[in-house]
Amino acid sequence: MMDFTSISDRGLVLLGCGKMGGAMLKGWLAKGLAPMSVSVVDPNPAPWLADTGVSVNGALPSDPAVIVVAVKPQMMAEAMPGQTGYGGGRTLFVSIAAGTRIATFEKMLGEGTPIVRAMPNTPAAIGRGITAIVGNAVASEAQVSLAEQLLAAVGQTVRLESEDQMDAVTAVSGSGPAYVFHLIETLAAAGEAEGLPAELALELARTTVAGAGALAMEAEEDPGQLRVNVTSPNGTTAAALEVLMDETRGFPALLKEAVHRAAERGRELGRQ
């Protein structure tokens, strides 16, 4: 059970309850957060919210402990004006809005507002995500720890040394699930090209990637050693890795360029 004392006393406001906001809410409730402590603000609330006991689009607490901003960046201008009155006080703002820098919130809410910026990823929807967080200068250790607890409801959390690392995090773990999904797609297509039925090729690819990921998490060896363990000299895996590990056209070059482009795009969005 998590320590939700401050939230129980003062309340939590969740702005946006889509896939990520909904996953977090379900995690909080499962870990013991009292439904009456939560106020959800969403223009199109999902039907399942009616069965949770949380307040939906009702009156908000006067001094909430936390406001979690889980709206899309393009909806920020519509969602945030109603919350500016909470700025500069005791309320902690936790944002999972991609590409929206802490400075943007400080302009809207005041520099005296405690803010934690977070970058989760889509496996959070099944409680297997990883979220990187960083607080501004005003956020206390207790507030950053509270944000960490809230985000731990959907997976692991890591703290960053500075916000400058967030674009690289976005490129690796935020966008990373899409890279893995594309690997599954292309691995299945390659299997089909070698004569496997499409459904069988997809099942083999999907289960192999999932199993390898689980092994990488649980094994004592690092991924490099796990790769060596699977690779017999002059065998089938070695033949494939000659292609995949090629420094000019294999994974090393492709992923380095892909992650760099994603990080650069994140920096561009942060300047807009």
pTM over 0.75: yes
Reported confidence tier of residue 92, pLDDT bands at 50, 70, 90: very high
- Is residue 15 a known part of a binding site? yes
Q: Are residues 64 and 185 in the same domain?
A: no
Residue pLDDT, tens place only, 119-161: 999 999 898 999 999 999 999 999 999 999 999 999 999 999 9
Q: Are residues 48 and 138 in the same domain?
A: yes
Q: Are residues 21 and 79 in the same domain?
A: yes
Q: Are residues 55 and 143 in the same domain?
A: yes
- Is residue 19 a known part of a binding site? yes
Q: Are residues 75 and 34 in the same domain?
A: yes
Q: Are residues 208 and 138 in the same domain?
A: no
Domain boundary residue among 166, 194, 221?
166
- Is residue 107 a known part of a binding site? no
Residue pLDDT, tens place only, 165-189: 999 999 999 999 999 999 999 999 9
Mean pLDDT of the chain: 93
Domain boundary residue among 135, 166, 197?
166
Residue 171 lies in a domain: no
Residue 105: name the closest of 147, 135, 133 by CA.
135
Q: Are residues 15 and 97 in the same domain?
A: yes
- Is residue 16 a known part of a binding site? yes
Distance CA 103, CA 35 (A): 32
Q: Which domain holds residue 33?
A: 5-166
Query: At residue 160, what is the residue type?
Result: L
Q: What pLDDT, on a 0 to 100 scale, did the predictor assign at position 139? A: 96
* pLDDT reading at 80 higher than 80: no
CATH number (domain holding residue 251): 1.10.3730.10
* Strand runs labelled E in 51-128: 55-56, 66-69, 92-95, 115-119
Q: What pLDDT, on a 0 to 100 scale, did the predictor assign at position 1? A: 54
Angle (CA) 261 265 270, round 5°: 150
CATH number (domain holding residue 15): 3.40.50.720
- Is residue 64 a known part of a binding site? no
Q: Are residues 40 and 109 in the same domain?
A: yes
Q: Are residues 182 and 149 in the same domain?
A: no
Reported confidence tier of residue 67, pLDDT bands at 50, 70, 90: very high
Q: Are residues 149 and 187 in the same domain?
A: no
Distance CA 202, CA 196 (A): 9
Domain boundary residue among 148, 166, 184?
166
Count of domains in the chain? 2
Residue pLDDT, tens place only, 14-53: 999 998 999 999 999 998 999 999 999 999 999 999 999 9
- Is residue 26 a known part of a binding site? no
- Is residue 70 a known part of a binding site? yes
Q: Are residues 102 and 181 in the same domain?
A: no
- Is residue 45 a known part of a binding site? no
DSSP alpha helix (H) spans, 98-197: 102-109, 141-151, 166-169, 176-193
- Is residue 266 a known part of a binding site? no
Q: 216 and 200 in contact (C-beta within 8 Å)?
A: no
Query: Helix crossing, 19-30 with 141-151: angle to 10°?
Result: 100
Tell me the C-alpha to C-alpha distance, in Å, between residue 66 and each of 36, 138, 144, 230, 252.
14, 14, 11, 47, 42
Give the N- to C-terminal CA distance of the chain in Å, as an integer.
40
Q: Are residues 136 and 195 in the same domain?
A: no
